[in-house]
Structure 1
Amino acid sequence: MFGQRFTDYDNNQEKLVGLNSNDETEYAIKLSKSYSAFDLVYIDDKTVAVTIGYSNGKVGVLIVDLTTQKIKRFIDLPDSPFGITFDGESLIWCCTSTAIFRICCTDYSFTKYTSRLMSQFPYIATHGDRIIYTAPSKNTVSCLNKRKLVWKFKNETILKKPGGITVDDKGNVFVVGIESKTIVVISPDGKQYKQIQTEDCGLTEPSTIFFDNRRKQLLITNINSFAHLYDVSYV
């Protein structure tokens, strides 16, 4: 059973922290000072990919072996990577200004998936053939299918500076509003939405989010260094 894995980008921690199922620190993998740690995704139960965002050193993605707790490989990329996800075959990552890319997990070669104007600090998720990503500076969430835009969501009354994004097994999109301090759930077709209250639950500065489809739990992190775990039920 997986525990939780975290990175700390804002505080320049340069480490990957693992918590076990009892929320106890299992390990902290120290990264080189040349690298930051922005986002991560599991490739399998022993391997994660970590994007470094804006870094003092090289630009790319770290492949980290959780068994040896060492960096297994560094993948050089043409632009700073931020949000990253895994569709079962390829790593998919988005950069600040130019495009969305795919990385083959066999030989770690990369190809451009689509050229779309991004924004700073985008996050990305997948569901089936769909790719959903946030554009914080534009206050939008967009959904692509086979490189074509399926829908774009924008409602600045409830969602400002969208950050972390995740998708449940039904295709519902959960997205964090960093500036609006909200969690918004968007329907699979992008036409309906629901706001989840956060401040009453102690989430004053939500930043990233992850949906555990097996446990039906939602993990939401706060910028001020702690996270909340919620059980999700459908009515």
Structure 2
Amino acid sequence: MHKPQHAVSFAVRLQQTENKTTIQANNTTDNTSQSISASNIVSETKRPTNSTKHAINVRLHLWKKFKSANEEVLNSGRSHHHDILMKKCSVLPNGWMIFTEPNLKLLLIHDDEGHFQNKIYLSGRPFDLAIISSKLIAVSYGENRYVEIIDLKTKDAVKSFNWETNCFGIAIISNHLYIVIEGRGIAVLEHTTGQMIKTIPIKINQKTFLVVTHDSIIYTNWIFNTVYCFDLEGNEKWQFKKNKLHRPIGLTVNKSGDVFVAGNVSGNIFYISSDGKRSKELVRDTDIIDLYLDNQTYRLLTYKSDGSAFKYFVES
């Protein structure tokens, strides 16, 4: 998909802010419903750094598994391992699912049962995406240094925001886009006008993904195997690091601000409480890249580098 002539383009210049303390952050196709096998369930509950008697009762039950793409897409993913880390998934308000395939510059759309419905060709290789509404999504293009707002019905980019440096992870809350701008901070802008709201001084010097809640920004650092949480002004709230969580990449949150994070190399999913003090390893599975929690149905979607997708019921 090429940028249409009628698309609104904005050149965004970051406002310089006073330096604060910063952190160098650097498979199968059948749809049979089933409970997750006992070999994949991890029953051990981690204790927080400050002792607590509260157990974590969160469990995952496998509901459905399917392929997100055809063999052309899957073979493309296998042959470009460097770009596998950029694959993303998300869920629209109607329950339909979106998957990115960077090597083919594609968005793949499936219904809530996992059946393929449509594809959208993009203007570049996507890094991250954020759901704005049932009709609009935002896509960041990493080292290509721009973000697009895409209309899912027309398949066109209706707005484009250009940056002076690389733009990676992207999230949206209360109509504000939060975008990781490499080496500069997290830019916050109004998605309909492109108006710059502020720059949060969390300097991140690597490719990373993030989620935003009403009071927190949480992102992964796969170089340091760490999950970081900051407030919306850029003050660190907590860090999370475990030997069993290696190369954390995708992450998602529930309504309480608790975090689910995928360990790509460790082959697992970790649950982290909203204060960062308690955690639990939920699932052991290989090569998980991304995950997204649908807070309407409380189903967790996971995505693997070979194009396999899994949906879990979340029990708590």
With structure 2 as the length reference, what TM-score do the two structures score?
0.67
1:110 is displaced (CA, Å) by: 3.2
The answer for the alignment partner of 1:212 in structure 2 is 294
1:227 is displaced (CA, Å) by: 1.1
The answer for the alignment partner of 2:231 in structure 1 is 145
The answer for the alignment partner of 1:222 in structure 2 is 304
Contact 1:119-1:137 at 8 Å conserved across structures = no
Cα 1:110/1:137, change in 2 over 3 Å = farther
* Structure 1 residues without counterparts, runs of 5 or longer: none
1:112 is displaced (CA, Å) by: 4.7
The answer for the alignment partner of 1:7 in structure 2 is 100
The code of the aligned residue for 1:194 comes to: K
Residue 22 in structure 1 maps to residue 113 in structure 2: yes
The code of the aligned residue for 1:14 comes to: K
1:42 to 118, 131, 134: 131
The answer for the alignment partner of 1:83 in structure 2 is 169
2: CA distance, partners of 1:146 / 1:21: 33
Residue 166 in structure 1 maps to residue 252 in structure 2: yes
SS of residue in 1 equivalent to 2:223: helix
SS of residue in 1 equivalent to 2:132: strand
1: CA distance, partners of 2:220 / 2:163: 21
SS of residue in 1 equivalent to 2:300: strand
1:115 is displaced (CA, Å) by: 2.5
Contact 2:260-2:270 at 8 Å conserved across structures = yes
- Residues 117-150 of structure 1: CA deviation (Å, up to 9, x unaligned): 3243211102222111111112111111132111
The answer for the alignment partner of 2:196 in structure 1 is 110
The answer for the alignment partner of 1:233 in structure 2 is 315
Contact 1:184-1:194 at 8 Å conserved across structures = yes
Contact 1:119-1:135 at 8 Å conserved across structures = no
Which one has the largest radius of gyration? 2
The code of the aligned residue for 2:134 comes to: D
2: CA distance, partners of 1:233 / 1:187: 15
Matched residues, number: 222
1: CA distance, partners of 2:196 / 2:305: 31
Q: Which has the higher contact order (CA 8 A, sep 6+)?
A: 2
1: CA distance, partners of 2:290 / 2:200: 24
- Residues 159-187 of structure 1: CA deviation (Å, up to 9, x unaligned): 12211110011221011111212211110
1:113 is displaced (CA, Å) by: 2.8
Segments of 4+ moved more than 4 angstroms: none
Cα 1:13/1:79, change in 2 over 3 Å = same
1:70 to 146, 156, 161: 156
Identity across matched positions, percent: 30
2: CA distance, partners of 1:98 / 1:196: 35
1:66 is displaced (CA, Å) by: 0.8
Cα 1:197/1:21, change in 2 over 3 Å = closer
Contact 2:188-2:200 at 8 Å conserved across structures = no
- Residues 17-64 of structure 1: CA deviation (Å, up to 9, x unaligned): 1111221221111112xx111211111111000111223xxx111110
